[in-house]
Amino acid sequence: MLLLGGCGILGVGIWLAVTQGNFATLSSSFPSLSAANLLIITGTFVMIIGFVGCIGAIKENKCLLLSFFIMLLIIFVLELTVVILFFVYTDKIDKYAQRDLKKGLHLYGTDGNIGLTNAWSIIQTDFRCCGVSNFTDWFEVYNTTRVPDSCCLEFSENCGLHSPGTWWKAPCYETVKIWLQENLLAVGIFGLCTALVQILGLTFAMTMYCQVVKADTYCA
């Protein structure tokens, strides 16, 4: 199951990398941390763990089964730790994320940052927002009263040079955050299903490991 899941995640990651290659992260601190790259790394890692588990089960190899159990347990503990830390330090994470995103605005439209530029354009157009906390965030980037054209209520060439009345007023950070909160149920269900699969994998690995150990003991 993990092997198939890993293949699926890797496939989606490769598809995103091919079709959305110009869409990168909004973060200036982690320029390579795009959705496609994350899925490719996660999918590859899950595939390796699933492969170890499958071979261990087929060969009834104690070493591979125990390795599969330990790797899966480490991942489960890390995920649990990340979730707990996220809820404990939500305010600090919010402040850091907004500060980092504002730094990223200064890379908008610059050479070698087409991915970040496209990402901001898509976010502002789709979510009808402008800037991280306010459209004035862009004033610091341009050193003048203007915003990207993707901030405009009605898109047109150089519409970002017009008056603020023609721009979206909603802050992108809060708008996207609210959207995520509204879809929290789907995220929660996905998280619970993932945790259930991992717990089943841990149970299966340890049960089979014990059976192999018992069989070896009887044979001895």
- Give the pLDDT confidence of 90-148 residue by residue, as tens digits: 889 889 989 989 998 998 988 878 878 888 998 999 999 999 999 999 999 999 899 99
- Residue 91 CB partners (closer than 8 Å, separation 6+): none
Angle, helix 2-19 to helix 35-59, in steps of 10 degrees: 160
Residues 146-193: pLDDT tens digits?
Answer: 999 999 999 888 899 988 889 999 999 999 999 888 888 887 887 788
Tell me: pLDDT of 218 over 80: no
Residues of the chain with CATH 1.10.1450.10: 90-182
- What pTM, to 2 d.p., does this model score? 0.73
- Sequence length of the chain is 220
Query: Which CATH fold would you assign to the domain 90-182?
Result: Cd81 Antigen, Extracellular Domain; Chain: A (1.10.1450)
Residue type, 209: Y
